[in-house]
Each structure stands twice: as structure tokens, then as C-alpha cells.
């Protein structure tokens, strides 16, 4: 199931009873957030605000805000189906060559069919505004009381590497400064920031296009932790099993999703920065104000009667949590190519993607858990993980009660905790220094004599199978439900 665009997805959600139209006038300043947060926390439906104050554009919120909706967005009935759907397309091998292989596979016929497909006429260019436009016409949200202003929260930011010519699609919040400028919240580790620095070295502006809306797989792909040699639009095509249509932007040399709702075209100056933030972030805390590059908009193209997609972030659970869980499921097979001893991975919602990872492993030798921790910290964006908990393969990594039971009972702090230093996510406020600090690994596996535990290790309490079968046979007779 591949959705053509955001509207196609909206129709599907409505047919499933998973979308609520809000006809009353609602203010994009704080009010939309409070309504959406209540609905999100109660595991409610997607919301289409049809009458936002000060704008004619409807606002779509919480579209990915459940496991089921996130699965549907990526063409599956549950998140575990997604890697199964990709399995036949992905190469075998170690991660050192995995992404290289995927990059070369883009040239093969069966995979090349999923590369972006250029079209000449696109819905996103039905209306072209080269002079007479204002961001004030878009119902951009001010999400939380201490936010520095209104923020575009679900943008697909498109840049190009000036050397390879490869495009990148990333999702970076954008604070609206005035009618034609926004901030560009590039963290140092982002691929968009990498392309920006390359342009800085050449002392020239970087062309940028920002797509708002599009098919749901493309929106998700902007958040996926892909390496620079794999383009997000290609990855979206793989998920959809159908190429994403793209069209050349009107004023910049970039290809943009043809079925997006709105496209912002312009540039970021290599030297100009402006104070951006604070912003109520996905950690559940405000990220502090700092100086970031400035995006100057020169042209806006859009559909007739566009829909503005947005999201809010804050204390979990929220919509972004389900996007993170999709990443967990999709990229687990990639981790297993490096570490076949891994049975499962859980990025708990409360860990907001980068603060905690729970890993179950088939333990084969002493200190095996430490090897897994060190390896994970060396894999891509796993380097940001502040806490890694390793449990035995017999433990359900998705069951936090079971995991915490093992941690609280199996861990001797002096023996089983490893603290290392390294890069942290830019939004981590706990470290003394930004983007750098300490990380902790916790070995909650059963300890072996070779690991220094010479005492007898007790067995878990379990009822014998014969008694279980006996009680099963009597259960209805007992009248206990």
C-alpha cells in the first residue's frame, strides 16, 4: 500500500475512523498544541483543524501518532512487517560494507525502479508566488509558552552536497522570524549541516528547498538515520515499493517532492546567524536559545488549497515517539548484521530516542555485554545513546517491568557499570558541556564464574509444566475468568 500524497493518507485514515475533523476555530498559538497534546496522551486519532485562526489552510496533526497509523504510513499492518518487506531488497553483510552495497544497488534494475522519478508538471507547483507571499499566511504553530516564536515543525529540508551532487532530505525545525526568513536548526552532526559547512568553505550560499507535506513514507524518511551515500527519497521509494515523483524547483537547483503541499525555496548565507529558540523539544524540556543559520525564502510554490502538516513534541508519548519506534524496527536488522548476538532492541519512549537503549543478547563469552555496548556506541547515530542496558536473550526487551526487575536484581554497580565519554545529542542538557559528556553501560545479564561471580547464581522462579497443564485444564471449572 503506497499513498500518493498526504491527502491520500488523510482519506485512508478517515476511512479507518482514525481522523477527526475539528471545525471550530482554533488558534495555532498554543491552543492547537494543548488540544493535540491531550489527544496524543490519550492515544487518540489524527486531527485535521479545518478553521485555524488567521489562515485558510487546514492543519494536520498527530497523523503518525499511534503504532497502527505509523505502520499504515509505511505500507504495513505493524512495524515488524516493515523490515520484512525490505528484506528482499537489502544486501547481506557487515555494516562496514552494508551501506556501501546499498549505495551500489541503487544502480541495479530491480532497485533502480525505486529511485526518484522526475516529472514535468507537479501538484506542488500549481500556484507559484515569487514576490507576493508571506509566511504569515501559513498557520505555523507556537507550540509552548516559552518558545521563542512560531516554528515549522515538520519540514523536509532539501540540500545538496556541492562535491558529489547528492541531495539530502532532513527534518530540522525552523523558527519563523518574519514574512520571508526563518531559522535553520542544523545540529553539527546533521547531514544538512555538513553540506552547509562545505558551502561555507567555498564562501557561497547554500541553496535550500523545504517541502511541507508529501506522501507519509517520504515524510518519515527525512527522519531516518541514513548514511550520506543513500538518498532519503530513494529510501522512501524502497519503503513504498514505488518511486517518489520529484520536480525541479522553480528558483533553486534542487529536486523536490512533486506531491508536497507547499515548497519554500531560497538560500542560507554562509556567515549569517541569528538567535533561535528556546523551543519546547522532544526531550520534554525546552532546548535553550542559541545562534543558528538563517533561511531566506525567495519563492513559495504550493497546491491549490494546500494542507499544512505539523507536529508537536514534548513529554512522551507523542507523535514523534512512534516515528522513533519505526526506526527501531526498521534498522534492527542492520544492527544484527554487525552484532548477530543481538536478539532485540528497545528504544523506550521515555528515552526520547537517544537517551536509552535496551538490548537483549545471546551471551557467549565473559564480558560479552561490554563488547556489545562498545560496538553500538560506534555505529552511526547510536553514538548519542547515553545509556545502554544489556540483558540476556531470555528477557523480553520490550517489557520494561521485566527489564527493570533484571537490572535491579542482577547488577552489582562496581562490577557491572561502565562509564565512557563521547559525543552526546545536541539537545542533551544534563552534561556540563554541550554535545559531549559521559555515557553509561549496564550489564544486567546473568554473571558467569569467569566474570568474577564465584557464588551460585539462583534460578528464576518458575512453576513446573505439569502443574501449569493441570491448572489450565481446571481453569473454567474454577470460575476465575
Cis peptide before 317 (omega within 30 of 0): yes
* C-alpha span between 345 and 334 (Å, rounded): 12
φ, ψ at 383 (rounded to 5°): -60, -20
Over the range 308-319, which residues count as b (16 or more CB within 10 Å of their CB) and which as e?
A: bbbbbbbebebb
Beta carbons of 393 and 362 less than 8 angstroms apart: yes
Cα 264 to the center of its chain, rounded Å: 22
Q: Which residues pair with 170 in a beta bridge?
A: 157
Beta carbons of 172 and 196 less than 8 angstroms apart: no
Provide the 8-state DSSP code for 363.
-
How far lies 433's CA from each of 47, 438, 481, in Å?
39, 10, 56
How many residues are present in the chain?
Answer: 481
* C-alpha span between 376 and 339 (Å, rounded): 9
How far lies 158's CA from each of 30, 134, 167, 210, 266, in Å?
28, 20, 7, 6, 11
Annotated active-site residue in 147, 215, 281, 425: 281
Over the range 241-270, which residues count as b (16 or more CB within 10 Å of their CB) and which as e?
A: ebbbbbbbbbbbebbbbbbbbbbbbbbbeb
* Helix (H), strand (E), coil (C) string for 392-407: ECCCCCCCHHHHHHHH
Which cell is 229 given? 551515500
Beta carbons of 160 and 166 less than 8 angstroms apart: yes
In sequence order, which residues have a C-beta less than 8 Å from that of residue 184 and are 6 or more positions away?
157, 172, 174, 192, 196, 208, 268, 292, 293, 294, 295
443 is catalytic: no
Sheet strands side by side (includes 436-443)? 342-346, 357-361, 387-392, 436-443, 417-423
Active site residues: 281
Amino acid at each position: 500500500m503506497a499513498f500518493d500524497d498526504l491527502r491520500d493518507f488523510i482519506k485512508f485514515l478517515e476511512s479507518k475512523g482514525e481522523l477527526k475533523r475539528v471545525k471550530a476555530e482554533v488558534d495555532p498559538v498554543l491552543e492547537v498544541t494543548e488540544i493535540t497534546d491531550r489527544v496524543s496522551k490519550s492515544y487518540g486519532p489524527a486531527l485535521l483543524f479545518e478553521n485555524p485562526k488567521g489562515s485558510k489552510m487546514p492543519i494536520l496533526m498527530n497523523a503518525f501518532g499511534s503504532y497502527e497509523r505509523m505502520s499504515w504510513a509505511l505500507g504495513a499492518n505493524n512495524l515488524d512487517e516493515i523490515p520484512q518487506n525490505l528484506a528482499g531488497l537489502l544486501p547481506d553483510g557487515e555494516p562496514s560494507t552494508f551501506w556501501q552495497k546499498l549505495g551500489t544497488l541503487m544502480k541495479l534494475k530491480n532497485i533502480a525502479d525505486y529511485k526518484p522519478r522526475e516529472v514535468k508538471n507537479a501538484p506542488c507547483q500549481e500556484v507559484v508566488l515569487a514576490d507576493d507571499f508571506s509566511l504569515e499566511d501559513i498557520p505555523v504553530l507556537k507550540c509552548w509558552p516559552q518558545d521563542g516564536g512560531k516554528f515549522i515543525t515538520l519540514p523536509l529540508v532539501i540540500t545538496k552536497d556541492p562535491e558529489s551532487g547528492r541531495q539530502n532530505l532532513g527534518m530540522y525545525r525552523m523558527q519563523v522570524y518574519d514574512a520571508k526568513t526563518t531559522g535553520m536548526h542544523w545540529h553539527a552532526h546533521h547531514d544538512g549541516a555538513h553540506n552547509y559547512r562545505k558551502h561555507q568553505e567555498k564562501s557561497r550560499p547554500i541553496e535550500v528547498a523545504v517541502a511541507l507535506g508529501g506522501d507519509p513514507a517520504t515524510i518519515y524518511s527525512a527522519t531516518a538515520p541514513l548514511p550520506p551515500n543513500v538518498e532519503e527519497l530513494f529510501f522512501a521509494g524502497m519503503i513504498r515499493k514505488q518511486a517518489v515523483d520529484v520536480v525541479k524547483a522553480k528558483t533553486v537547483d534542487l529536486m523536490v517532492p512533486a506531491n508536497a503541499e507547499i515548497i519554500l525555496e531560497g538560500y542560507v548565507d554562509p556567515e549569517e546567524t541569528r538567535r533561535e529558540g528556546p523551543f519546547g523539544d522532544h526531550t520534554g524540556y525546552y532546548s535553550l536559545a542559541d545562534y543558528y543559520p538563517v533561511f531566506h525564502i525567495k519563492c513559495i510554490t504550493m497546491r491549490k488549497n494546500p494542507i499544512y502538516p505539523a507536529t508537536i513534541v514534548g513529554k512522551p508519548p507523542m507523535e514523534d515517539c512512534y516515528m522513533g519506534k519505526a526506526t527501531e524496527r526498521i534498522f534492527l536488522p542492520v544492527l544484527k548484521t554487525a552484532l548477530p548476538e543481538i536478539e532485540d532492541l528497545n528504544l523506550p519512549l521515555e528515552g526520547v530516542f537517544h537517551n536509552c537503549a535496551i538490548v537483549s543478547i545471546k551471551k557467549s563469552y565473559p564480558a560479552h555485554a561490554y563488547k556489545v555496548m562498545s560496538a553500538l556506541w560506534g555505529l552511526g547515530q547510536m553514538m548519542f545513546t547515553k545509556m545502554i542496558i544489556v540483558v540476556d536473550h531470555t528477557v523480553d526487551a520490550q517489557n520494561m517491568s521485566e527489564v527493570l526487575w533484571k537490572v535491579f536484581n542482577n547488577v552489582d554497580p562496581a562490577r557491572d557499570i561502565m562509564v565512557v565519554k563521547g559525543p552526546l545529542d545536541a539537545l542533551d542538557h544534563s552534561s556540563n558541556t554541550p554535545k559531549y559528556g559521559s555515557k553509561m553501560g549496564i550489564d544486567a545479564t546473568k554473571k558467569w564464574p569467569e566474570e568474577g561471580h564465584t557464588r551460585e547464581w539462583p534460578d528464576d522462579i518458575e512453576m513446573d509444566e505439569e502443574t501449569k497443564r493441570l491448572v489450565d485444564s481446571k481453569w473454567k471449572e474454577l470460575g476465575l475468568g
